[in-house]
Amino acid sequence: MEDYESDGGRMLFAGMYVSDIAREFGTPVYVTDEQRLRKNYRDVYGAFSKEMDTRIHYACKANSNLAVLRILQQEGSGIDAVSIGEVLTCLKAGFTADRIMYTGVNVSDEELRAVSDLGVMINIDSESELERLALIGPGSQISVRINPDVGSGHSDKVITGKKGTKFGIPADRAINVYSRAKDLGFDIRGIHAHIGSGGQSVEPFVDEAEVLANITNSLGEIGIELEFIDIGGGIGVPYKMNEEPMDLNEMAIEVTDMIKMETDVKTIVLEPGRYIVADTTLLLTKCVDVKDLGTKKYVGVDAGMNTLVRPAMYDSYHHIAIADKFGKVCTAKYDVVGPICESGDYLAHERVLPDPQEGDILAVYDAGAYGFSMSSNYNSRPLCREVLVNGGKAELIREAETVEDLWRLQKVPARLLR
């Protein structure tokens, strides 16, 4: 979690007063620090590339804003995409097809054909997908997603690597699947697994690497030599003040040691999303109501579960500060709640805050991953703006929707208008 500076009780973000950004662009608004984004990419690439040849494929489902993607394209990143929409968005942002890996799940023939026609490497998720791709895109470059029966993550809803989840091919069927892929004439490049999202411990990643290394060695015995081992993403970030960040250097050493000692593979691929973007971004929201019900106090704001769904969906924690009362003495505990007509619409429970008042700007920390990308139009509320800050200057990188945008693709049959 970023430790932001204060100037006389006014919170600073990337050289600007937070309340000034909110005043200029309105609320709610997502605000991203360009230099923090670049630093995070360089940190994870630097830690692993010291140990072995490394490719970073940013998991763009975390945040697919074109400006964010363009910055990472400039930094040299590749892409992990999970839909044809993400593939096309990344091509629009300047990535070439050879820097994108498509890792879909339960993929339709139509989507498989669209991805294949673009020349993007496909990470096979099932035996059915393998057989269908042989007809749709024979000879395609592929990797195979393995379920290693190793799980990690901040919630049961985001653990993807345990046996029984919907993702990947069980490890004990891997050799047969690769053998079949060879017989079908695919250009086999790698092996992949993803164990979950938000892991804060190194050990599960090492266990995962061991499973992939053992399969890789068995593949060598049947004449299949792999170019890379892809350990997926899921590197966690500290959302609370007392949490320690993942030790990237320790993770890099232990995971790459496993690969280097146990295999002849020269390249490791990682797919961080959250680690790169989470702490780059604040969600700014305005206090519109303060309510004391005797048993509980509420701060009502203009951002809700439609704007940031993680607290309601995962019971996730995001630190919250009042921008122009930064570091002030806290007076009471409040639930921070939004305008959505649901009891589950909240951003925070039982937070100690300094005397909130209508008009205050609240800053919700670490909102860059799965913030805007999971927002919705629930209650017919338009999506909010996004802003990029660099060198003390703020630039609009997504305009807010209007109510008219909600109607734009809808059609009312003529008979209903008579």
Find tokens 């653990």 and name the residue.
Answer: 159
Helix H, strand E, coil C: the string for 295-316 is CCEEEEECCCCCCCCHHHHHCC
Q: Where are the alpha helices (DSSP H) in 4-157?
A: 18-25, 34-49, 66-75, 84-92, 109-117, 127-136
Q: Which two tokens stand for residue 369?
A: 């991953």
Judge whether 366 and 347 are in contact, CB under 8 Å.
no
User: Alpha-carbon Rg of the chain, whole angstroms?
Assistant: 23
Distance, in Å, from the CA atom of 169 to the CA atom of 166, rounded to the nearest integer, reads 9
b/e code 376-399 from CB counts within 10 Å (16+ = b): eeeeebebbbbbbbbeeebeebbe
Distance, in Å, from the CA atom of 158 to the CA atom of 278, rounded to the nearest integer, reads 16
Element (H or E) spanning 282, and its range?
Answer: strand 281-292
Judge whether 271 and 232 are in contact, CB under 8 Å.
yes
- Asked if 384 is an active-site residue, the reply is no
Q: Which amino acid is at 304?
A: G
Helix H, strand E, coil C: the string for 129-188 is HHHHHHHHCCCCEEEEEEECCCCCCCCHHHECCCCCCCCCEEHHHHHHHHHHHHHCCCEE
b/e code 279-292 from CB counts within 10 Å (16+ = b): bbbbbbbbbeeeee
b/e code 245-263 from CB counts within 10 Å (16+ = b): ebebeebbbbbbebbeebb
Instruction: Residue 190: count other Cβ atoms within 10 Å of its Cβ.
Output: 23
State the catalytic residue, choosing from 287, 330, 341, 384.
341
Distance, in Å, from the CA atom of 227 to the CA atom of 98, rounded to the nearest integer, reads 14
Which DSSP string do the residues of 372-392 spell out, in sequence order?
Answer: GGG---GGG----EEEEEETT
Catalytic residues: 341
